[in-house]
Amino acid sequence: MSFIRLIRRSFVSALFAPLLLFSYTGCSSRSATPEARYVPAGDLLDIVKDFQRLAREDTYRFPIPKDVTGINIMKATLIRLDDYERKNRGQYADIVQYNKALALERLREYDQAAALYRKVGETEGRLGGEAAKNAEILDNFLRIFDRTIPLDDPFKYIAGLDEKVAAWNTLIKRHRGTPYEFLARVEEERIDRAKVAFVEANRGRLKEGNQLVIVGYSQLVTKHQQSKNIHRYLLDFGDFYQLLAKEYASQYDPEGLAFDSKVFDQFIKSALKLYSEVAQVDGIVEKIEAQGKIEAARGFLEKMTRLNR
């Protein structure tokens, strides 16, 4: 039985109980205030009903949904549930804690979420079994987080990141078709991005470091085409080509004989191609940023072209 149905069943019983009482006692008042113990249930249903629907969305492909006020639904729900707990001590504790755990895991606070799931799992309520199962899944998430990676050698560090990617990929396959697949994809993606960032930061220490960065970005944008972050990655990739163009112009005087305009043009045009790919997409926040980067790249290209004549 879904959580919304479970809550509704509890709330319907709570709402109809006073009506039955009134019918037996002959009370004819239509404006009587319901007993206090029935009022919080409706408030909890208001908090949970939309959250339960939005919490199941794919957070790998799409940003965390906003509520009607435009606030992150996970953060907003945590605040509302905390407020509900303060005002209604002990009421529907398993439902409150379960939904807090759900919000926390979507915010990647896996340790806190697992702790709350375990509390619910120790109860005799209907949510106990599923909560215990979720806690076990998150414990597997945390085991991957807790794996240590050698920091003394860049190649061992990359190998450690690769091992974590493989571990997340195993969980993706295990939880295919569930929200935990999406969460595992988010974690795998973060490691993939971290690998590229590490190589980029250490490219001067690596043989053919620049080429390794280009390969890393190429793999990142290919593997994560469905990610909500794909446009950010394309802009970052373009920024790297722009950086290579600036470094080339600094190393070789554009007014001198050593400057090869074909090499410089290749860097700039590669950046422009990536920026243009983002600028053509409507309805994304990166569109304006991409348009600005295109203008800047074109301006830089025009300046270097004039100097090289």
DSSP letters spanning 212-246: HHHHHHHHHHHHTTTSTTHHHHHHHHHHHHHHHHH
pLDDT tens per residue across span 112-143: 999 999 999 998 888 999 999 999 999 999 99
Sign of CA dihedral 31, 35, 38, 42: positive
CA 247 to chain centre: 34
pLDDT level of residue 299 (50, 70, 90 thresholds)? very high
Structure tokens at 186: 């988010």
**Residue, of 9 and 14, whose pLDDT is higher:** 9
Structure tokens at 275: 């920026």
**What average pLDDT does the segment 267-288 reach?**
97
Q: What is the pLDDT of residue 46?
A: 87
Q: How many residues does the chain have?
A: 309
Q: What are the helix and strand counts (H, E) for the chain?
A: 12, 0
DSSP letters spanning 106-132: HTT-HHHHHHHHHHHHTSSSTTHHHHH
What is the distance between the alpha carbons of residues 168 and 181, in angstroms, rounded to a whole number? 9
Q: What is the pLDDT of residue 53?
A: 85
Q: What 8-state DSSP symbol labels residue 56?
A: T
**What average pLDDT does the segment 35-49 reach?**
63
Nearest alpha carbon to residue 242 among 300, 287, 188? 300
Nearest alpha carbon to residue 191 among 222, 167, 207, 155? 167
This prediction's pTM: 0.83
Lowest mean pLDDT among 36-40, 70-74, 87-91, 112-116: 36-40
Whose tokens are 């790998």? That residue is 60
What is the distance between the alpha carbons of residues 79 and 38, in angstroms, rounded to a whole number? 22
3-state SS assignment for residue 94: helix
Q: What percent of the chain has pLDDT over 70?
A: 86
Taking 70 as the threshold, does the pLDDT of residue 24 lie above it? no
Structure tokens at 304: 């270097």
What is the distance between the alpha carbons of residues 237 and 221, in angstroms, rounded to a whole number? 9
Whose tokens are 């991409």? That residue is 290
Taking 50 as the threshold, does the pLDDT of residue 15 lie above it? no
Nearest alpha carbon to residue 96 among 200, 6, 180? 6
pLDDT tens per residue across span 193-231: 999 999 999 999 889 999 999 999 999 999 999 999 999
